[in-house]
Amino acid sequence: MISAVIVFPGINRETDMMQALEATTGTKPVAVWHAETELPPVDLVVVPGGFSYGDYLRCGAIAARSPIMNDVRAKAARGLKILGVCNGFQILTEAGLLPGALIRNAGLRFVCRQVKLRVENTRTFFTNRLNQGDVVRCPIAHGEGNYVCDEETLSSLEGEGRVVFRYVEGNPNGATNDIAGIVNKTGNVIGMMPHPENMIEPLHGATDCRPLFESLLAA
């Protein structure tokens, strides 16, 4: 499996993501600078976490308008698998690849801790190695992780089974319906706020999220 990780100014989790992908898929990802205009031939594109452009304007708003994102949108429309984590999730919503928006945490504070996620949809390219209802531990680190959307979008997400992850045993940011991750209608774009790349090996303290990356190979 060949993957690419997009690097924006201010992004700081690209190395973590690349290490996780290499450790679980056996293939070193390609780093793609935001100013490039075309993606290399890959099976997966990951938009990692961090603070692109210092989170000025809205989180992800400037990055979503970077030159490379035009090709990301075009390739996504043709079925390329896209995964956005934390700031990457914010960028994907700003780019129109996922519905809704991520706003300030309900408590107006940056939250950095471990949470529990329930896997709601196992039919995706990132969850097929888990069982529906499985609960995994996963780190979070964000100030704008409060997922919101209009009622029509929420009804669509819930009715079509497009909520992929949901917070359990406490909602850290006030997200609507405890939503921690979603997938688009065609099933090839996933966004999530928690950082699964930081819980895949014993040195991380647990390996709960390793099956998510193993799902990429299975897909």
Domain chopping of the chain, boundaries: 3-218
Round to whole Å and give the CA distance between 216 and 113: 26
pLDDT truncated to tens, each residue of the chain (219 aa)? 999 999 999 999 999 999 999 999 999 999 999 999 999 999 999 999 999 999 888 999 999 999 999 999 999 999 999 999 999 999 999 999 999 999 999 999 999 999 999 999 999 999 999 999 999 999 999 999 999 999 999 999 999 999 999 999 999 999 999 999 999 999 999 999 999 999 999 999 999 999 999 999 999
Answer yes or no: 195 catalytic: yes
- Residue 98's SS3 state is coil
What is the assigned CATH class of domain 3-218? alpha beta
Answer yes or no: 86 catalytic: yes
The pLDDT of residue 57 is: 85
Answer yes or no: 158 catalytic: no
Residue written as token pair 């895949």: 200
Q: Which one is catalytic: 14, 120, 197, 209?
A: 197
State in Å, rounded, how far the first CA of the chain is from the last one.
10
Query: Which residues, including other chains, have CB under 8 Å from residue 180's CB and lie 6 or more apart?
Result: 115, 117, 147, 165, 166, 167, 192, 193, 194
Tokens of 128: 């097929």
**Whole-prediction pTM value?**
0.97
Q: Provide the 10 A C-beta neighbour count for residue 152.
A: 9
Contact 6, 45 (CB under 8 A): yes
Round to whole Å and give the CA distance between 69 and 185: 19
Q: Which one is catalytic: 14, 59, 86, 144?
A: 86
Q: Which one is catalytic: 14, 34, 195, 209?
A: 195
